[in-house]
Structure 1
Amino acid sequence: MTEIPKEEMLLKCPSTCAGCGSLLALRYILKAAGKDTVLVIPACCNSVIQGVYPYMLHTVPVYNIAFAAAAACASGMSEAFRAVGKKTNVIVYAGDGGTADIGIQALSGALERGEDFLYICYDNEAYGNTGMQRSGATPLGAITTTTPNGKTVNKKDLDRIIEAHNLPYQATACASYPADIYNKVKKALSIPGPKFIHILAPCPPGWRTPSEKTVEIGKMAVKSGIWVLWEKEYDKFTISAPSRAAMKKPSPVADYLKAQGRFRKVDDATAAKIQAQVDKNLKKIAAEAAYSEENA
C-alpha cells in the first residue's frame, strides 16, 4: 500500500458509528481522487456524519442533495465544470437505498446520457441513517426494523441493472480492501464518461457485529463469494485478485451468516438456498471473465 498518499482528505473525530465501513471506504476514495473533487451526497448516513459548517469532516466541497436527485445534480455539475474547461472530479457518494431504490431513475437517466462523473454506491444493505429499514439491497434472510423475521426475497441485482447501460467503467469493491478501492477509483477517474463503483460497506450496528470486526466481516463476504470483486472496462471483464484467489476454494457462506446477528433467524433451508445462489453466481462470473479473456 506504499503507493497510497499519506495525506488525509478526511479530518479526525467523525461522528460515525464505531467501525463504519462506508467512512473507511470514503477515506481511500478521496485519497485517490485528490483535492480537485466535489462530492455529491444525497440523504444517507454520510449526509449527517459530515458535521455542521465550518466544522466539517471533508476537506473537499460537498453538495448535499435530495434523496432522488444525486445523479441529476452530478450531471449538471459535471456539465458546468466541463463548459468552463475544468476537469474537477464529480463523485456521487450514496447509500444503497438512495441508489438501488429512490435514486435509480436519475442514475439510469444520467448513465444513458453518458454524463461524465463517477457514481459510488456504498452498500450497507439497508437504510442505515433512519434505523436500518430494509432496502432493495437487503439480502435474503437479513433482519431489519421492517423485516423483523428476516427478508423473504432476494437482494436486487444492482450491478446487472447498471451493466445494462454499457458504461465505460464499472467495478465492485469492499471496504476491507483499501488498495483495491484506491486503484479502481484512480482508474475510473481517468476514463471520460459515466462510471459506477459498488462498494460493500459492513455496518456494525445494522449487521449486529462487533465494531472491531468490520474488516474481517468484509473479507468473509469476499472469501465466501457472496461479494465478488471485479471490474469491467468497456467490454473487458476482469475478476480482481482477492476474488480470484477466493474462488479457487470459497469458504462456506454459513460462516459469513453466523458471524452476523442480522442473520440469526436464517434456518438451514434458507442458508442452503443462499449458498446455492452464491455457487450459481460464481459460475456465471467465472464464465463471463473467461469469455472476456477469450475475446479480448
Structure 2
Amino acid sequence: MVVNVKNMIDDELFFGHKACAGCGGSLALRAALKVLGPNAVAALPAGCMSAVGFNFPQLAFANNAMITPFAATASVLTGIEAGLRAQGKKPDDCTVVGFAGDGGTADIGLQALSGAIDRNDDVLYICYDNEAYMNTGIQKSSLTPFGAKTTTTPAGSNVHGCLTQKKNLFEIVAAHGIPYAATASVGYLNDFIRKVERARDVHGTRYIHVIAPCPTGWGCGVDETVDIAKDIVDTGLWYLAEYEGERVSGQPGGRFRLNRDPKQFASVPAYLRRQGRFRAFSDDEVAAVEQGRDAKWEVMRREWRG
C-alpha cells in the first residue's frame, strides 16, 4: 500500500513530547514513525528530539527508543541491527532507524554515518535539518545556510550572518554508493512519507535528509512551519530528489532523480524576508543566493535524469 497523509495509521507513536510550538523536527518524526510502525527501533543522539522526547518519567515514544552519544548515532544503529539479527529477527520484522539533527549528522556524527554506509549496515538514518544547533542555543552547523544569523554567526553592520555555504550532505552520502538516499521537506509531507516507505523496503544503509524548520531559530511564526518548508522547495533553495545506488538502480554509478522541478521559482526575497535570521541580508546578497541556486539547478537539470 502506498502510504499518504489520508490513509496513514491513526496510532500516534511519538506523542506528548515537549517540543516548541511549530517544531518541524517533531512533525518529521511523527510522520516517519507512522510509516515505519510500532516495531521500529529508534536511536537518537543529543539534540532537540532526544531533549523533548525523553523526559523522566515520561517517554514520548511508543516504539523502543534510546539516546545515543552525540557522535555515535550510526554506530549505535549498527549495534542494534546486529543484536536483532543475532536474536533471529528478520529485516522486514522491524526497521532500525536513527533520527539526528543537522549538527549531529553533518558535523559530529558524519564519521559514524560514513562508516555505516561503507559497511552497508541494514539501517535507516533520517536527518531532520533545522539548519543550526537549535537545542543548545542556535549555534551554526555546517548545514547553516549562507547569511543566516545564529549566536555564533551574528549579523551586524559589517558581517551579515553565516559566511559559509551549506554543506551538500545528500550528495556526499550518495558519493558513498549508498543503496538509497533522498531529500525531503515537511512542507511536502506526502513526498516525505513516500520516501520513508521506499527506504523501509530497501535493504542496506538508507539516508533521508528532511528540511524541518525551527520557528525559534529561524525567526518565524509558529504557524508558518509548513508554509516555509514548502517555500524553500518552491524557491529552488532546497530540492526534492532521490539517489539509488547500483544495487538498487541497476545502473553503473547509481542514478539521481529529481522529484520536483519548478518551472518557475517562487520569490527568494519573500522567502528570506519572512525569517528573522536573514533580516540583515542586502539586495546584493539576495541576488548572490539566486545566482547560486540557478547554477545548481542548471547542473541538476542537465545531469540528473527524471
What is the TM-score of this pair, normalised by structure 2? 0.90
Amino acid at match of 1:48: A
Q: Does 1:286 align with 2:301?
A: yes
Number of equivalent positions: 286
1:114 aligns to what?
Answer: 120
1:46 aligns with 2:61: no
After TM superposition, the structure 1 stretch with the greater mean CA deviation from structure 2, 87-96 or 76-85, is 76-85
Question: 118-127 vs 251-260, which deviates more?
Answer: 251-260
Instruction: Report the CA distance between 1:38 and its aligned residue.
Output: 0.9
Q: Give, in angstroms, the shift of residue 176 of structure 1.
A: 1.6
Specify which of 237, 248, 268 is matched with residue 253 of structure 1. Answer: 268
- Specify which of 76, 101, 104 is matched with residue 73 of structure 1: 76
| 1:60 CA displacement | 0.5
Q: Is the CA contact (8 Å cut-off) linking 1:4 and 1:182 kept in structure 2? A: no
SS of 2:304 mapped into structure 1 = helix
Structure 2 unmatched runs, 5+: 156-160, 246-253
Q: Distance in 2 between matches of 1:207 and 1:154?
A: 17
Distance 1:157 1:91, change over 3 A: same
Q: How far apart, in 1, do the equivalents of 2:139 and 2:287 lie?
A: 25
Spell out, residue by residue over 1:135-154, the C-alpha distance to the aligned partner (whole angstroms, 9 max, x if none): 00000000000011200111
Q: Deviations over 1:179-214 (max 9, x none)?
A: 212111111010110000000000001000000000
Q: Does 1:10 align with 2:14?
A: yes
The answer to whether the 8 A contact 1:4-1:179 is kept is: no
Residues 50 and 56 in structure 1, CA contact (< 8 A), matched pair in contact too = yes
Q: Tell me whether 1:186 sits opposite 2:189 in the alignment.
A: no
RMSD over equivalenced CA pairs, Å: 1.2
Kindly indicate whether residue 257 of structure 2 is the aligned counterpart of residue 238 of structure 1. yes
1:135 aligns with 2:150: no
Could you tell me how far 1:164 is from its partner in structure 2?
A: 0.8
Aligned to 2:278: 263
- 2:59 maps to amino acid: M
Q: Following the alignment from structure 1 to structure 2, what is the Cα–Cα distance between the partners of residues 25 and 127?
A: 17
Give, in angstroms, the shift of residue 131 of structure 1: 0.6
1: CA distance between counterparts of 2:231 and 2:55? 35
Does 2:174 align with 1:163? yes
TM-aligned CA deviation for residue 34 of structure 1: 0.3
Amino acid at match of 2:67: N
* Moved >3 Å (runs of 4+): none
1:61 and 2:80 correspond:
no
CA distance 1:51–1:256, shift in 2 (3 Å):
same
> What is the Cα deviation at residue 52 of structure 1?
2.4
1:48-87: per-residue Cα shift (whole Å, max 9, x none)? 1013244211101111011101111111111221233213
**1:101 Cα offset (Å):** 0.4
Q: What is residue 24 of structure 1 aligned with on the other side?
A: 27
> Quick check: which one's helix share is greater?
1
Deviation, 1:255, is 1.5
Between the aligned partners of 1:58 and 1:175, the Cα distance in structure 2 is 20
Partner of 1:215: 226
SS at match of 2:213: coil
C-alpha displacement of 1:236: 3.2
Name the CA distance, whole Å, in 1 between partners of 2:6 and 2:132.
Answer: 34
User: C-alpha offsets along residues 219-262 of structure 1, whole Å, 9 cap, x if unaligned?
Assistant: 1101001011111222232222xx23xx2111121121111000
Moved more, 59-68 or 75-84: 75-84
Unpaired segments of 5 or more residues in structure 1?
none
Give 3-state SS (helix, strand or coil) of 2:170's partner: helix
**SS where residue 165 of structure 1 aligns?**
coil
Q: What TM-score, normalized to structure 1?
A: 0.93
Sequence identity (%): 42
> Per-residue deviation at 1:161?
1.1
Rounded Cα–Cα distance in structure 1 between residues aligned with 2:52 and 2:88: 32
Decide whether the 8 Å contact of 1:21 with 1:201 is kept in 2: yes
Name the SS of the counterpart of 2:10 in structure 1.
coil
SS at match of 1:106: helix
The CA deviation at 1:159 is 1.3
Partner AA of 2:199 in structure 1: A
Tell me the distance in 2 between the aligned counterparts of 1:161 and 1:229. 16
Aligned to 2:251: none
